[in-house]
Amino acid sequence: MNRFIRSTLVAVTALVATGAVAAGKYSPGASDTEIRVGQTMPYSGPASAYAAIGKAQAAYFQMINEQGGVNGRKITFLSLDDGYSPPKAVEQTRKLVEQDEVLLLFNSLGTANNTATQKYLNAKKVPQLFVATGASKFGDPKNFPWTMGWQPNYVAEARVFAQWVLKTRPDAKIAVISQNDDFGKDYLRGIKEVLGDKAAKMIVLETTYEVTDPTVDSQVVQAKSSGADVLMNIATPKFAAQIIRKAADIGWKPVQLMTDVSASVGAVLTPAGLDKAKDLISASYLKDPTDARFKDDPAMKAYYAFLKKYMPGADPKDSFNAYGYNSAANLIHVLKTCGDDLTRENVMKVASTMKDVELPLLMPGIKVNTSPTDYYPIAEVVLIRFDGQQWQPFGDVMSGR
């Protein structure tokens, strides 16, 4: 009797299994009714301001589910806290892959955290899609075919900055103050690539700071004494604000280009002093939700409606909300295109053959493009200038590919 029940069970399971195969091809984490998506995000710890991204994405997937899901499948979004600590990110990522069996990892945040999980995910052949960092090392399909970036990477942005300086001030004397880590080094690399032979002559000072330095006053003083007329401010928010303020305080007014990492009016320019930040130049690829020109833009209207319904109380000016909204839209595009072939291989195939994909909040003219040898989905930016109140885009879309 016992044996009978068991064999019947086996038969039934086999039937169900073959039924599933008939409807679609699946890797773990996908089925006829569900797609499981994993993520690690700093909901606690020093970088928890970024948590807004994960929350916006969860809200976006909720909206998609209420609209019927992706080709009839609901998204189950498992976004876990890693406290911005790489060992914790590894632990949570393993849990997501082995216990929760997610189809893919999506937009996990932090350079160090993604570095820590990259080898594991590639060995397991689990897609590590659209990592939330601008480090250029996450677009290396030859060595890490399962890892893909998303936002414009630091090298791309540096290239655009250098192109602009070459075009508008070919005789510029450039001083670079950068953070002494992968982030700062990516930038230096991009700048030097574009300047080429002229780099030695044009860059009159390269100086760095450590994140443990209480102030960067000394570096700014050094940069001023170098006689430079262009300053590259390659710093994270606190230090970027210090650089802007110190330069103004010692009466130095170079053309200042600042990384988009710190281009927040609320978190950087206000502490530095809005008058001191006037004429600062940075780069952007997302539409500014506060910009009056996009007031009647249908995508912007949809974004505001989304915030109102799914994230009441969220600050529309917080650029992290827009970031989460847009990256989630990109993932949904990939999953929709996959159709009924929701294997991990197909997810990577679709993600690496995106052609001129438009996302709701990308600046006009910027599109998502990838190829099996180019794992940098967004590589164009628009330069922006701070007018003392808000950022104003100027010039054409510039490519950093």
Q: Looking up tokens 């007014």, which residue turns up?
A: 253
The SS3 call for residue 12 is helix
Residue closer to other proteins (CB basis): 64 or 220: 220
CB of 106 to other proteins, least distance (A): 24
353 in contact with other proteins (CB under 8 A):
no
The SS3 call for residue 43 is coil
45 in contact with other proteins (CB under 8 A):
yes
Plot region of 71 (φ>0 → left; ψ -120 to 50 → alpha; else → beta) = left
For 361, the token pair is 């909040």
Interface residue with other proteins, options 36, 55, 88, 224 (CB under 8 A) = 224
Contacting other proteins within 269-298 (CB under 8 A): 270-271
44 in contact with other proteins (CB under 8 A):
yes
The SS3 call for residue 70 is strand
215 in contact with other proteins (CB under 8 A):
yes
Interface residue with other proteins, options 24, 69, 141, 237 (CB under 8 A) = 237
User: Phi and psi for 236 in degrees, rounded to 5?
Assistant: -80, 165
Interface residue with other proteins, options 66, 249, 345, 387 (CB under 8 A) = 249
DSSP letters, 214-278, are: S--HHHHHHHHHTT-SEEEEE--HHHHHHHHHHHHHTT---EEEE-GGG--IIIIIHHH-TTTTT
CB of 253 to other proteins, least distance (A): 14
Interface residue with other proteins, options 24, 34, 47, 69 (CB under 8 A) = 47
Q: How far apart are CA 133 and CA 126, in angstroms?
A: 18
Residue closer to other proteins (CB basis): 146 or 239: 239
87 in contact with other proteins (CB under 8 A):
no
Q: CB of 187 within 8 A of CB of 220?
A: no
CB of 87 to other proteins, least distance (A): 16
241 in contact with other proteins (CB under 8 A):
yes
Contacting other proteins within 184-213 (CB under 8 A): 207-213
* C-alpha of 373 from chain center: 19
Which chain residues interact with other proteins by CB under 8 A? 44-49, 180, 207-215, 217-219, 221-222, 224-225, 237-238, 241-242, 249-251, 266-268, 270-271
